[in-house]
């Protein structure tokens, strides 16, 4: 290399800037490539073997096994990593110089120093997990790996933020960042399959994604060759004095690529990245709705077990933290760092790992508060950019629809709720990883639409009316549109006038939500008084009519409600954020409490005022929405427009329409997949056996505050129940998560289902599942002048070609004797007036036996036989029968699912057994007809026995208890 002279002295060498990242890439890549080749040649069968399986199930080696377990591949890897360490540290320092040169576009010198320190720590951590292998010290190896991965997030984000505005390098950096973080999702999935479920072959697929991380990591840093191509490193002999003029620093020769406008234009032309950005926002909106809907559900666990107010209800008011948006510097800080705050809010998703229910609730409340602050700051910060504001509101609406579709796929449960886990069908870790990726994407990107023309506001809107309207509207969305089956359950009637079932009713609701959001752009129409009247009429029809007519009204109201989403949320974002969000959340909380009070009136203060007054709540809700419409119409706007081929507004509308099409198609696919494949069949038709049970299930939340549907399904299946009544089963309220256990159990067990009286009937719910076709049914609200309203289902089943009547009921509490008397009298009347064989499956608070008023009113008044008169240890659940031959009776422990056991009776419908009763017969003669002669189990045909798995310790904590065995009868 020829020597030259410059102002500082004799130039000894000129080194291209690209040589440093090139050396780092070559040495780093060689370390892993050579280790892989040598390892496969020398120790293939050893490096593919793991603690679960070996070859041929496992056939591709992991990174750690390749680089850390055997000589010589381990040592070759370590040598080349050592060679790469020098260029790596120089690269960190050069990037620090580059980023300080790029201030203020890159942020600040303080951030550049932080990024430099982070990258040095990351480099040392890399040496930690390379040179200290898992066989040397497993803990040190894992700690170094964790530190390395944690430092990778700010490394990727900081590098992109501080990079020169070079479209080519920016494109590749984002590509490799997406592939790096995108590989984490399947990698975590296959690691769980390997480490938790111990599936042979899963670690091979894990290894593919582990190697892809190495490739993406090296490629991300290799992109520096593009940025460093514009300058060179010089070795200069400055003489004895060492003095020089820094004005000709090599970094001053760095070429600058375009301004912010060109960068924005370049970003807008990259449609895949634009789409990823939009999808990330929609997913974070889905996370927001998921956490918001899980909060009341988790609060409900505590008053459920306390049978009254518990104090934990105060966590409902965690949302008033939105008042902090009134602090300007805090709001601006959240908006600028919203990706990071979104990341912090994921503590609400991660909380499923917390076993203590109270601590889990606290974590969810923190997540809701942080997510609400982030979305509030986002909407407020976008209020002056018309396109960006439209994007923020639309992604929030699409997140709500996505929430419905995900719940539809999980039978009305949300797989990332904290009441879900690996044992209950949850996908919490997948949801968490996707949330991390979406948050990182927000950190990485340059916000679209930053150069949109501003909207100049001349508004006469009232912040107070905007706040009140937003609170009422948020309650409307939460209470009615966070599950696609809520509308069909509100309009539910008895057979055959049930209205649409969850399939296809849920699809129709989701399509109506999509239509509503589509027509929301017709602002003049959707904010008109006539449109409000149409929506209110639809709501009235839904509330007062059952079956198809009520459901049709609900569809009209769904279109109406979703069409207001952009208008009301945009109006909210135009107001002073602190006081506006505070009042909005207080109004929402008041509605939420009223929504609970209408059914929980017997357990809350001044409950008598709100008893069964859902109509009051709906009238107040519609009034607040009307105030918001009038308030929004009072605003006058002048928009400064500027010609643009691809504005943020048009981009938001385009992607929202594409998303709506995709979401509706996804719902269609889910419904098709859930269509029944065959008709339900009883378990033992050869014996004409009917196995029937009753179970109070405490709203499908088990004793540890996790969802219990899967465990309920398992025990119902294992007990071979042909008919079962489930009590406290109406979950279509905010405090129960707007869930619907009936659809999951009926579809998975292949049974017919009658949901019972719906949410507008103000009961705690009773449901009947049956292997026999339901010919007709009637829903009853039993008399209740003092206490809680009691529900009952009176159904007629087609049992082996004959009609058999069944009652499932949930009567009132011990405190209200008059209620229990009237309710039991009504049940007796229904049973007494039927000529069909009868099964009673119910909850009647009384002690059994002669002299007990309520007990005798039920058995004698209904002309039915107790399943076992000698069983004195009962209090609330009872089985009774008439016109069938009783063959068995058992009591099965609840298994931690609830606090109430399962009671099961076995009956036969025989030709020679009397199936009707003589109305002139006295109750004494009627009682003499039934004997209680018990026989031993070995005298019973095997098909008519209770499953043997419940003997002794039982299965999944379910066992025969009280008698420790079933009873059988001759």
Catalytic residues: 810
Q: Tell me if 121 sits within 8 A of 92, measured CB to CB.
A: no
Q: Are 683 and 526 in contact (CB under 8 A)?
A: no
Count the alpha carbons within 13 Å of 818 in the hemisphere toward its beta carbon: 5
The H or E element that residue 559 is part of is: helix 547-563
Give Cα separations from 459 to 456, 512, 571, 579, 653 (angstroms): 9, 32, 10, 18, 25
| Contact predicate 930/852, CB 8 Å | no
Contact predicate 706/297, CB 8 Å:
no
Helix pair 138-162, 202-222: axis angle to 10 deg: 40
Q: What is the three-class DSSP state of 721?
A: coil
CB 377 within 8 A of CB 323: no
Cβ–Cβ under 8 Å, residues 373 and 327: no
Give the position of tokens 């292997």: 771
Cα angle for residues 617, 619, 621 (degrees, 5° grid): 70
881 in helix, strand or coil?
Answer: strand
State the number of CA atoms in the 13 A half-sphere of 828 facing the CB: 20
Q: Using alpha carbons, list the distances in angstroms from residue 610 to 475, 604, 662, 870.
A: 17, 10, 42, 43
3-state secondary structure of 894: coil
Per-residue burial over 140-156, b if 16 or more Cβ lie within 10 Å, else e, is: ebeebbebbeebbbbbb
Phi-psi region of 346 (alpha: psi -120 to 50; beta: other; left: phi over 0): alpha
**Bond from prior residue into 504 cis (ω within 30 degrees of 0):** yes
Q: In what order do the strands lie in the sheet with 723-727?
A: 752-754, 766-770, 723-727, 689-696, 902-908, 885-892, 967-969, 934-935
The alpha carbon dihedral of 722, 699, 291, 762 has a sign of positive
Residue 534 CB neighbours (<10 A): 15
Q: Which three-class secondary structure state does DSSP give residue 890? A: strand
CA distance 589 to 597: 12
């Amino acid at each position: 290399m020829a020597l030259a002279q410059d102002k500082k002295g004799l130039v000894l060498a000129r080194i291209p800037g690209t040589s440093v990242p090139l050396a780092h890439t070559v040495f780093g890549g060689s370390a892993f490539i050579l280790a892989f080749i040598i390892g496969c040649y020398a120790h293939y069968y050893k490096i593919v073997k793991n603690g679960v399986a070996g070859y041929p199930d496992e056939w591709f080696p992991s990174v750690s096994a390749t680089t850390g377990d055997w000589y010589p591949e381990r040592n070759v890897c370590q040598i080349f990593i050592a060679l790469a360490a020098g260029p790596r540290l120089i690269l960190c320092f050069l990037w620090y110089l580059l980023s300080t040169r790029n201030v203020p576009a890159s942020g600040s010198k303080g951030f550049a120093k932080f990024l430099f320190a982070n990258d040095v720590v990351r480099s040392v951590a890399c040496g930690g997990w390379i040179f200290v292998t898992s066989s040397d010290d497993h803990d040190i190896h894992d700690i170094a790996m964790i530190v390395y991965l944690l430092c990778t997030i700010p490394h990727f984000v900081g590098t992109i933020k501080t990079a020169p505005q070079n479209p080519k390098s920016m494109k590749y950096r984002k590509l490799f960042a997406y592939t790096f973080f995108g590989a984490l999702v399947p990698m975590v999935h296959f690691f769980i399959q390997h480490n938790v479920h111990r599936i042979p072959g899963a670690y091979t697929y894990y290894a593919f994604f582990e190697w892809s991380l190495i490739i993406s990591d090296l490629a991300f840093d290799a992109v520096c060759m593009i940025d460093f191509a514009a300058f060179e490193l010089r070795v200069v002999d400055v003489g004895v004095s060492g003095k020089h003029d820094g004005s000709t620093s090599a970094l001053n020769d760095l070429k600058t690529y375009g301004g912010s406008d060109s960068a924005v234009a370049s970003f807008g032309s990259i449609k895949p990245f634009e789409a990823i950005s939009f999808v990330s926002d929609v997913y974070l909106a889905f996370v927001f709705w998921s956490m918001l809907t899980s909060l009341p559900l988790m609060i409900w666990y505590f008053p459920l077990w306390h049978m009254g107010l518990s104090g934990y209800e105060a966590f409902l008011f965690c949302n008033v933290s939105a008042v902090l948006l009134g602090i300007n510097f805090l709001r601006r800080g959240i908006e600028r760092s919203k990706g990071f705050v979104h990341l912090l809010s994921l503590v609400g998703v991660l909380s499923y790992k917390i076993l203590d229910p109270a601590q889990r609730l606290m974590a969810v409340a923190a997540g809701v508060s942080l997510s609400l602050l982030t979305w509030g700051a986002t909407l407020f910060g976008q209020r002056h950019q018309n396109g960006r504001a439209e994007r923020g509101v639309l992604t929030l609406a699409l997140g709500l629809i996505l929430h419905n579709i995900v719940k539809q796929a999980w039978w009305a449960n949300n797989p990332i709720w904290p009441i879900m886990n690996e044992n209950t069908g949850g996908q919490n870790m997948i949801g968490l990883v996707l949330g991390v990726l979406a948050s990182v994407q927000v950190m990485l990107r340059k916000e679209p639409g930053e150069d949109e023309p501003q909207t100049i506001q001349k508004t006469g809107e009232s912040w107070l009316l905007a706040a009140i309207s937003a609170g009422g509207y948020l309650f409307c969305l939460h209470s009615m549109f966070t599950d696609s089956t809520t509308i069909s359950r509100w309009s539910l009637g008895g057979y055959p006038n049930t209205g649409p079932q969850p399939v296809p009713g849920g699809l129709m609701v989701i399509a109506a939500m999509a239509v509503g959001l589509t027509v929301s752009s017709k602002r003049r129409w959707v904010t008109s008084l006539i449109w409000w009247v149409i929506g209110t009429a639809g709501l009235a029809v839904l509330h007062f009519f059952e079956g198809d007519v009520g459901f049709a009204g609900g569809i009209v109201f769904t279109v109406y409600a979703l069409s207001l989403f952009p208008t009301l949320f945009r109006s909210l974002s135009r107001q002073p954020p602190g006081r506006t969000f505070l009042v909005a959340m207080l109004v929402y909380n008041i509605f939420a409490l009223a929504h609970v009070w209408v059914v929980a009136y017997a357990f809350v203060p001044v409950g008598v005022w709100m008893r069964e007054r859902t109509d009051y709540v709906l009238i107040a809700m519609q009034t607040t929405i009307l105030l918001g419409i009038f308030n929004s119409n009072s605003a006058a706007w002048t928009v400064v427009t500027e010609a643009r081929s691809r504005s943020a507004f048009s981009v938001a509308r385009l992607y929202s329409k594409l998303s709506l099409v995709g979401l509706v198609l996804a719902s269609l696919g889910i419904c098709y997949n859930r269509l029944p494949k065959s008709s339900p069949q009883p378990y033992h038709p050869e014996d004409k056996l009917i196995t029937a049970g009753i179970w109070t299930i405490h709203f499908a939340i088990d004793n540890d505050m996790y969802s219990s549907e899967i465990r309920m399904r398992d025990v119902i299946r294992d007990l071979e129940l042909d008919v079962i009544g489930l009590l406290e089963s109406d979950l279509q309220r905010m405090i129960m998560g707007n869930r619907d256990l009936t659809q999951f159990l009926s579809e998975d067990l292949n049974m017919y289902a009658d949901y019972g009286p719906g949410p507008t009937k103000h009961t705690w719910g009773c449901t009947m599942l049956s292997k026999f076709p339901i010919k007709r049914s009637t829903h009853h609200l039993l008399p209740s002048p003092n206490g809680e309203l009691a529900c009952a289902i009176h159904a007629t089943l087609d049992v082996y070609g004959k009609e058999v009547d069944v009652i499932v009921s949930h009567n009132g509490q011990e405190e209200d004797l008059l209620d229990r008397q009237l309710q039991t009298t009504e049940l007796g009347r229904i049973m007494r007036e039927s000529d069909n064989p009868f099964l009673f499956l119910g909850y009647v608070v009384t002690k059994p036996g002669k002299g007990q008023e309520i007990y005798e009113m039920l058995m004698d008044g209904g002309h039915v036989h107790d399943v076992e008169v000698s069983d004195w240890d009962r209090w609330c659940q009872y089985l009774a029968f008439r016109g069938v031959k009783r063959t068995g009776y058992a009591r099965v422990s609840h298994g931690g699912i609830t606090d109430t056991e399962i009671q099961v009776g076995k009956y036969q419908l025989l030709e020679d057994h009397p199936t009707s009763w003589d109305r002139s017969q006295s109750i004494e003669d009627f009682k003499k007809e039934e004997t209680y002669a018990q026989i031993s189990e070995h005298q019973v045909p095997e098909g008519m026995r209770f499953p043997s798995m419940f003997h002794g310790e039982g299965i999944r904590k379910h066992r025969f208890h009280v008698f420790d065995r079933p009873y059988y009868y001759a």
